Structures are given as C-alpha cells and as structure tokens.
Amino acid sequence: MMTLYPVILPVPQKDRCLWGRERVQRLSQLARHALKLSAQKKGVQLPALPKSPEGAPLPVDGVFWSIAHKPDYVAGVVSKVPVGIDIERIKPCTAGLFRRIATDDEWQLAATVSDTLFFRYWTAKEAVLKSFGVGLKDLSQCHVLQILNDSHLMLVYQHHHIRVEHFYFKDHIAAIVAHASIHWTVDDEDAAPFME
C-alpha cells in the first residue's frame, strides 16, 4: 500500500503578526518548506512547483502536491496520485456557515452537530476539491456520504467516492484525501492530541 507523509509545521511567533501580502507570502514559503519535508520523507524530488492559470498545483514528473496555510500552522504533502490537504483551527461558527458548508441531509448523518463536525466537513471538502484541482466554487457539488468514525469520512464529488482522513492536534484539525496509509508529522513539541 502506498504511504503519504503529510507534514504540519507551526508558524513562528514572529511571523504570526504579519498582515496582507507579506503574511500570505511568508505562509506560502513555510507551507512549501513543509512540502519539501514531505517529499524528503517520501523519497522524491520536487525541482519546481508549477500551478495552472487558475492557481491549482500541477504535478511534476508524476508527483502531485498540495499545501495549506493558516495563521498558526502550515501543511504540505506529496503523492504519486492526486492529493489534497487542508488545515483549520476549530472555533465557534455561525448557523449561516453551517448552512453554507453542508446540506440538512449531511448534518443528519451525525448524532450531534458541533463546531468540530463543521470543521471536519469543511476541511474534508476542501481537501477533496484540492485533489481535483478545483476551488471552493464546486463546494455545493461535494457531499459527505458517511461518517465512518472520528477520523474518517466518505465523500462524493463528480461520482467519485473519496475517503478523507482527519488528524487532530491542539485546537486544530487537518484533513487529507486518504487513498493510502497516512503517517502524519507535526513538528511542534507542544502539539498534543485534541478531540472534542
């Protein structure tokens, strides 16, 4: 079975106070460093990181890649098949956001609807859409089919059934399209398991 090595790195404290374009550039640099570490663990080289005109990552020599960045953490992963990764901090959300991210049928899959479930759905859908090279414009076409357990969901997009794995740490959640064995790396000695 193929193995993926997603890497999550903390954003240094000095970079957390950056704003605007400077912040985006720095977070992108850090996410690309996480990607480089993932490639090293996988034993592949990534000489360039091209993107499509729409900004979607393009494979290099048969190697697919995906990055995510938020104010406190960044993530990167490489794969021999299309892959998507996302990361979010779990925080309170409005009812409007719940309605935007999923349908009533999707929410009814769970015994209890919570902010953690919201971010499971959100990160899973974003990871799936990234793996297809499309953005959030297709959010309404990506659906949660089944909650498999606390760490896995089954989604459908364009008639494809896609398994997504979640990883919890501190007050964050990461999601990756899980068509392989996953070995998460969090380079943060303070990172402690977090689940609601």
Give the residue numbers spanning the domain of 143. Answer: 3-186
Q: Residue 98: inside a domain, yes or no? A: yes
Quote the pLDDT of residue 188: 63
pLDDT tens digits, 54-73: 889 999 999 999 999 999 99
Residue 194 has pLDDT above 50, yes or no: no
Asked if residue 192 is part of any domain, the answer here is no
User: What's the rounded Cα separation, in Å, for the pair 120 and 139?
Assistant: 14
How many domains, the chain? 1
Mean pLDDT of the chain, nearest integer: 92
The model scores a pTM over 0.95: no
pLDDT of residue 90: 98
Q: What are residue 11's phi and psi, to 5 degrees?
A: -80, 125
- pLDDT single digits (tens) 31-52: 999 999 999 999 998 888 999 9
pLDDT at residue 192 tops 50: no
Residue of 70, 57, 71, 77 whose CA lies nearest to 130:
57
Distance from C-alpha of 101 to C-alpha of 121, rounded to nearest angstrom: 7
Q: What is the CATH number of the domain that holds 9?
A: 3.90.470.20
Is 160 inside a domain boundary? yes
- What is the reported pLDDT for 14? 92
pLDDT attached to residue 1: 63
How large is the average pLDDT for residues 92-119? 96
